[in-house]
Structure 1
Amino acid sequence: MKRDLSTIELRYLSALIAVHREGSFSRAAESLGYTQSAVSQQIARLERGIGHQLVERPGGPRPVSLTGAGQVLLRHADAIVARLSSAAADLESLDKGTAGTLRIGCYQSVGVRILPRVMRQFATTYPGVAVQLVENEDDGELLRQVERGELDLTFVVAPLPAGPFDSEELLEDPYVAVVRADSPLTRHGTHVTLDELDGTPLISYAQVREAHLIENRLGRPSLREQIVFRSNDNGVILGLAAEGVGAAVIPWLSVDPHRQGIRVLQIAGVGRRVIGIAWHRDRYQIPAAHAFIDLAHSVARDEEVTMRIDLSPDEARRVTGDG
């Protein structure tokens, strides 16, 4: 049966999303600023236009739920509303030109080691552009905000999930084991292997994409059994390592180079995480966004030199021509 969907209004789809999210017509109406009867009428008109019942209405205190057809339409409704939100954000950027707000997503390690220097230089070049920072250790959520038009750019860790994204790599960030300064692991020198960490209590991150969990990134699921503590706060992780609670297995950017009482050992034989910056491929970007990306590249290059000095001074001297 061919359906005429021309009568479907965006507010009907927004009502369906709200009913699913809130589990009731009354709470959906409250979140949308409508009356309950208005939401009921919008859902009814949507059902007539689609030719399917979309919402199960059990009555009483039980929450409403979507039918199979409702679930199918919901997936499309989410995408449609996200694209229209993105379009509205595009038009706003077009109107503002190089003024207004640049919305940046980041996570803690980048926020401490890279973002401040980018911001200092960016503020000098684009004084009329305010930067709104959104922090989340889960870069998957930051990417979803990019898709919805809520962020212009976000720092990410490769690989990216499927979606309407473009990205550029900034730097490679090696994994390290941070241990108490007098840890027996320091007898291995400046490097340690995963085999040498076998049996050692480990500390690492908590709320990250599944692909970024340390046991997955390092290709050794058995490490999960050694992890005694997970946190998203770098200070907590390093503090536990300094007290000898365990070895903190984290990327180098997460390490405070001025922290006392710790030793940083590079983990040999494992790949590095790749730090990048991503944006919505179909959205208009104001010139300030391109300038921010260029500055991020410049700061990342400087950070790589610092990394080589901290982790391998002899190699760094060869790279920089010193000594």
Structure 2
Amino acid sequence: MTDIELRHLATMTAVVDEGSFSRAAARLGYTQSTVSQQIAALEKTVGGAVFDRPGGPRPVRLTPLGQVVLTHGRDLLTRTHAMVDAIDRFRAGEGRIDIGTFQSLSIALLPRLVVALREEFPACDIRLFEEESDPPRVDDVDLMFYDGRTDGDVEHRKLLDDPYVLVARRGDFPDGPVPLAGLHLAPMVAWPADCDQPRIEAAFARAGVHPRIVFRSAGNDAVLSMVRAGIGSAVLPRLALSRVDDSLTVHELDPAFPPREIYLLWRAGRTHSPLAARAIELALGIAATLP
């Protein structure tokens, strides 16, 4: 039974639909003898006749064996056509892509990437997952935006350097860079210790500076709201400052902290769909335009 060919099943369904070998041949672009040969080959494979042939103008009729073959053959042809269509859509890029991201990238870069992908691939299925697990679960997605490199079976492309800056309520600091020494024991709003905050606090510690943390929140808006309220300043990556208004000022640090490095990660050896490959190209282009 493994010798059944899809073309023989397609010919059989054409004969059933058209009611005769000659009309099936016309529909398929075959000669009538070719149709007869393919049906004969199918009957040899399944071990019996699939059609009763009354002759003359009367239509051919399915045998009981033919009915079994037709029922499963139509289902097989339907699934085959669906597979071919899915492959064609995959090659055209109109498939699904799962992208992992994190808070500031979700605001600064990801919306532009989604718009660009939808413009090029209107039928694409884009699914986004925001988390900041360490290490990142790269195997769960096609692409992962991450603030750093990671060990393991992972490939990466660097997108940009994201410098750390001090954000403060207007008037709390003079214009220009702020010396780190001036932040020693100063009140400060910060992320929780399981976000990017350990890098920031380690950089302070290396400089012998120890700010006094008065509030922690994983939400950038909450951190900035508390800075506006005047309970302390905050050191954040520049990409996190999407909602800075005139009530706040942004200052470079002196000396500057090493910048946060933003990468695009994926599982090593993965063959990208055209959609994922294009997403990588677009992300690199968008990252190059970020201020």
TM-score range, shorter chain: 0.5 to 0.7
Counterpart secondary structure, 2:145: strand
Query: What residue in structure 2 maps to residue 205 of structure 1?
Result: 191
The reply on whether 1:249 has 2:240 as its aligned counterpart is: no
- Same amino acid, percent of matched pairs: 27
Amino acid of the structure 2 residue aligned with 1:233: G
Displacement of 1:225 in angstroms is 5.8
The reply on whether 1:182 has 2:171 as its aligned counterpart is: yes
Q: Deviations over 1:177-231 (max 9, x none)?
A: 1111121xx22x2211221211211112216457854213555386666222221
State whether residues 110 and 253 of structure 1, in contact with CA within 8 Å, keep that contact through their aligned partners in structure 2. yes
- Within 5 A, what are the aligned runs for 1:164-313? 164-183=153-172, 186-187=173-174, 189-206=175-192, 208=194, 212-217=198-203, 220=206, 226-269=212-255, 270-303=257-290, 306=291
Gaps of 5+ in 2: 1-85
Distance 1:219 1:126 in 2: 48
Amino acid of the structure 1 residue aligned with 2:159: L
Amino acid of the structure 2 residue aligned with 1:162: D
Structure number with larger C-alpha Rg: 2
Query: What residue in structure 1 maps to residue 30 of structure 2?
Result: none
Query: What residue in structure 1 maps to residue 28 of structure 2?
Result: none
Counterpart secondary structure, 1:178: strand
Q: Deviations over 1:142-188 (max 9, x none)?
A: x22x13xx211111112x232111111111111011111121xx22x
Report the CA distance shift for 1:95/1:118 in structure 2 as closer, same or farther (over 3 A). closer
> Given the alignment, which residue of 139, 153, 157 partners 2:147?
157
Query: What residue in structure 1 maps to residue 112 of structure 2?
Result: 117
Report the CA distance shift for 1:124/1:283 in structure 2 as closer, same or farther (over 3 A). same
State whether residues 101 and 130 of structure 1, in contact with CA within 8 Å, keep that contact through their aligned partners in structure 2. yes
State whether residues 90 and 274 of structure 2, in contact with CA within 8 Å, keep that contact through their aligned partners in structure 1. no
Counterpart secondary structure, 1:264: strand
Distance 2:194 2:249 in 1: 25
Report the CA distance shift for 1:130/1:221 in structure 2 as closer, same or farther (over 3 A). farther
Q: CA RMSD in A?
A: 2.6
- TM-score, normalised with respect to structure 2: 0.63
Counterpart secondary structure, 2:171: coil
State whether residues 156 and 277 of structure 1, in contact with CA within 8 Å, keep that contact through their aligned partners in structure 2. yes
Distance 1:101 1:276 in 2: 21
The reply on whether 1:140 has 2:134 as its aligned counterpart is: yes
Distance 1:129 1:298 in 2: 20
How many residues matched?
204
Counterpart secondary structure, 1:196: helix
